[in-house]
Amino acid sequence: MFRLLGTLRGSQPVARFQRSCGLFPVSEEGGCSSEPSAEEARDGGICNGAGALRSPAATGRGVSNGVRSSRGPKGSTQKYIVKNYFYYYLFKFSAALGEEIFYITFLPFTYWNIDHSVSRRMIIIWSIVMYIGQVSKDILKWPRPLSPPVVKLEMRTDAEYGMPSTHAMAATAISFSFFLATMNQYEYPFEFGLAAAFVFSTLVCLSRLYTGMHTVLDVIGGALISAVLLMLLYPVWDTIDHLLLTSPFCPPISIIVPLVLCYNYPKLDYYSPTRGDTTTILGAGAGATVGFWLNNQFVAASYAGEDFQLRFPLLTGKTMVVMLARFLVGIFIILLTRQLMKSVVLGMLGYHYKFPMRDLAARRRPEVEVPYKFITYSSVGLTATVIVPLLHELLGLM
């Protein structure tokens, strides 16, 4: 058993998965070196993604065709060869499903166009799961896969520890909480919903191996932790949802508890983006939770859940146009809010602590990073749940 766990924690299974999907480092046999050999240079040929020789004139450039590079910290680069572009784009897209670009689009889209109760449950589960995952990384301090033999396609998060994979945790939490929240409220084939949740989470999990950012054990551990948390929270999430909507203590608790958790985040010997990312997530969740409470106080009838099953609305041309309009208006307001609050909050903190806005080292200090990101993203969460729906109603998009 320990031998199996040791193997799953190693870098070789990740490297073998990458090779089976057509991703190779340029220095590996069967690929090509980062510099052309003397024979290749004499013949005027270079190595393309399939390992064949072509002349520079044929490619129109003097670098290896099919050779890409990922830029790491301090300007370092790692060159690699892609021999199967289907897997490359599939897993690059799947990896994005665990990034901010997905959270800031899918979660609000669900709130504006599908069901408020479903969105509430996903956001609460997502916030809890991601906090536990991020803190676990910095407590366990398990390293990421070694390179070589692994090719690393994402260098920003390489400074973080690996266990558990928060991509795997978030994908499992969001996909299965969406499935669990809708299966008793909407009429659709149970098998279809289960399969969709499984495929979504599996693609994101595999993308973490393909990009070389996690070991197999990291991914399995992340998915299992998320599944256990879902099983523990599912029996009580109606109670939690009710308290968040009705308790007069909801707004202060939703702000104070996440802030305390962010300020008391585990300290590391070097800077890691985990604290900032955690603050972003908890801030967005806090702002959204306050928004849920405000909506329930003033427009309760529009936000109450139903006990009977509903069919998903028929996607007519008019319905799709309205949904698209809601989404585009909402995303524009969210991005505008984020950019405005970043500038205002960072400017105020820079004035208070006497540092220029471009000083990256100062922005990484806890007394700056925590309020900067928490205020910015709590404003985003509040805007998405309160301001945008009001604007939708004003524009006749409800």
**3 state DSSP class of 115:** coil
Residue with tokens 């599939």: 90
| Phi, psi values for residue 82, rounded to 5° | -105, 120
Which residue's entry shows tokens 């994101």? Answer: 204
Cβ pair 167, 98 in contact under 8 A: yes
Neighbours of 251 (CB within 10 A): 16
How far is residue 177's CA from residue 234's CA, in Å, rounded to a whole number? 8
Helices 2-9 and 12-20 pack at an angle, to 10 degrees, of 60
Spatial contact of 120 and 241, defined as CB atoms under 8 Å apart: yes
C-alpha pair distances (Å), 62 with each of 55, 74, 379: 9, 25, 48
Q: Which of 291, 168, 310 is nearest to 228 (CA)?
A: 168
DSSP for 191-223, please give it.
Answer: HHHHHHHHHHHHHHHHHHHHTT-S-HHHHHHHH
Which residues are the active-site residues? 167, 214
